[in-house]
Amino acid sequence: MLARTPAKEWHLNLLLLKDKLSVCRLAPSEKVPAWAMSGGGFTSVTRTADELSVVCPQGAAPKGTKCESGWRIFKIEGPLDFALTGILVAVGKPLADAGVSIFAVSTYDTDYVMVKEQNVEKAVRALAAAGHHVERQ
């Protein structure tokens, strides 16, 4: 359940998923590869005019694929209404203040925020200090 304080600050419930992920970049004209959709867990595919980005389980992409590995992901408990504002800021600002870089992914129901694995504990502390509740999968 989402709670908003009188100061209009969000206090969110986040779930740190057990998944270890990679973010991969392919050419914009490439077909979505089969490995992008295999392995279960969290997967996201985004195509723009400039690239095809795939977030997939770490190790799913074949060698030679341009990937950045070592990501973990926080799920913001939802569903979140499209009219809500400030959700990503409520999570992103305390992480930025703690020096933790993020990679955000949004879906129809909610938002996900990825951090590098070495920053997970720092992220958990920063989110808790901001009034968010973090559970681990």
The angle subtended at Cα 32 by Cα 31 and Cα 34, nearest 5°, is: 115
Parallel, antiparallel or unpaired: strands 13-16 and 133-136: parallel
Domains and their CATH numbers in the chain: 3-136 (3.30.2130.10)
pLDDT for the residue numbered 132: 96
pLDDT for the residue numbered 6: 40
Distance (Å, rounded) from C-alpha 124 to C-alpha 107?
22
Query: What confidence tens digit (pLDDT) does each residue in 27-45 have?
Result: 999 999 999 988 678 999 9
Give the pTM: 0.89
Distance (Å, rounded) from C-alpha 32 to C-alpha 28?
10
Query: What confidence tens digit (pLDDT) does each residue in 53-106 have?
Result: 999 999 999 999 999 999 999 999 988 888 888 899 999 999 999 999 999 999
pLDDT for the residue numbered 58: 94
